[in-house]
Amino acid sequence: MNEYLPGLAGVPATQSNISNIDGEKGILSYRGYPIEQLAAHSTFEETTLLLLDGVLPTAGELAAFEAHSQRNRRVQYHIRDLMKTFPPTGHPMEMLQTAVASLGMFYPSNVSGDSSGDELDYIHNMSVKIISRMATIVAMWQHIRHGYEPVDPRPDLSYAENFLYMFNEEEPDPLLAKILDVCLILHAEHTINASTFSVLVNGSTLASPYSVISAAIAALSGPLHGGANQKVLEMLAEIGSVDKVEAYVDNKLANKEVIWGMGHREYKTKDPRAKILEKMVDEFIEARGGEVNPLFEIAKEVERVCEDRLAHKGVYPNVDFYSGILYSEMGIPADQFTAIFAIARSAGWLAHWREQLVDNRIFRPTQVYTGEPVRDYVPVNKR
């Protein structure tokens, strides 16, 4: 019990039935359902309800959830006015963390931790509201930071469609809306990662859900967690062309530098989410008549070269490798990629928040002390 393991690697922090990873076989499942099946047949709304409640909803339950979510897409004008005071150069993740934290002042909440039926209803209701408003806030910022009024949400559109409509102020392309919907499903949950662990720790104190999700957003903002998809696009742009890929990769490996989007601590094979995204890239190119963004071609070559150099080490593309390129095709700037990750992951975060509160105990880990032994204080004039 006194052994120190950096990063708590391999140390179970909780028991959960929300999602599972088999890193050796490259399998990810939500509530037992393989991610491939959810990506092919589900929607983000249905997947969110599955994560929150633990079962696939009936048609009536799903319709009621969708209506509940649509009613809660708007935020009070105070939030909009507050966002107008933020510096326009601020990173969207810093904006999102601040805005979500501020929601608690306008929509007060109180978690009792008694696990009663009323408490569970309250937790579910708060979860729906936060998930619904996350997308609204991110889309609002895209306009506010450029000096324009945000676009009002539309209740007649799906979650993904409404986000693209609010973000780009135009009718969403059905193909891009479907791609975004799948991306949201793929990013919705991934067991106990850094941001989800922050949910458990903060939730265990009975902090408000807004504070809990704000803390998770902060954890996700780091480039070693959610910020990697933005780094991937920057890397591909830096490479510039397919013929420069091999030299770029070899130089990075020789200098022991990060190749963004490659490798994942949990997977010894290719990330199953990356496989789905790569297939969507191919389908997107085919649907566009073979018209290819040069970044797609560069990414394919980076993957080929990295597979040749790194496959024997179990290093393959992860979910961040292709998601940013797809987001850029939707008209989304690179600095918003991680905010979209947060929109999706809010579903998993809030599922874990609920699970923590049902059988709650505040986190209080120990440490391995490496400091000085007990000693006497020395007055300043004798030092």
Q: Please say if the pLDDT value at position 1 is more than 70.
A: no
- SS percent in the chain: helix, strand, coil, step 5: 60, 5, 35
Q: Please say if the pLDDT value at position 199 is more than 70.
A: yes
Under CATH, which number does the domain 228-329 receive?
1.10.230.10
Model confidence pLDDT, tens digit, residues 16-50: 999 999 988 999 999 999 999 999 999 999 999 99
Residues 205, 207, 213, 217, Cα dihedral to 10°: -70
Which three-class secondary structure state does DSSP give residue 161?
helix
- Phi and psi angles of residue 34, each rounded to the nearest 5 degrees, phi first: -60, 140
Catalytic residue among 187, 190, 320, 352: 320
Strands 33-34 and 27-30: antiparallel
Model confidence pLDDT, tens digit, residues 263-293: 887 888 888 999 999 899 888 888 888 777 7
**∠ CA 317-15-216, rounded to 5°:** 60
Model confidence pLDDT, tens digit, residues 40-96: 999 999 999 999 999 999 999 999 999 999 999 999 999 999 999 999 999 999 999
**∠ CA 266-217-108, rounded to 5°:** 135
**Amino acid type, 229:** N
> Cα(104)–Cα(115) distance, rounded to whole angstroms?
21
Domain-by-domain residue ranges, the chain?
15-221+335-358, 228-329
Q: Please say if the pLDDT value at position 113 is more than 80.
A: no
- Phi and psi angles of residue 169, each rounded to the nearest 5 degrees, phi first: 55, 45
pTM to 2 decimal places: 0.92
Strand 27-30: give its sheet, edge to edge: 19-22, 27-30, 33-34
**∠ CA 354-277-177, rounded to 5°:** 75
Angle, helices 194-204/209-220, rounded to nearest 10 degrees: 150
Catalytic residue among 190, 264, 271, 352: 264
**Is 264 assigned a catalytic role?**
yes
Under CATH, which number does the domain 15-221+335-358 receive?
1.10.580.10
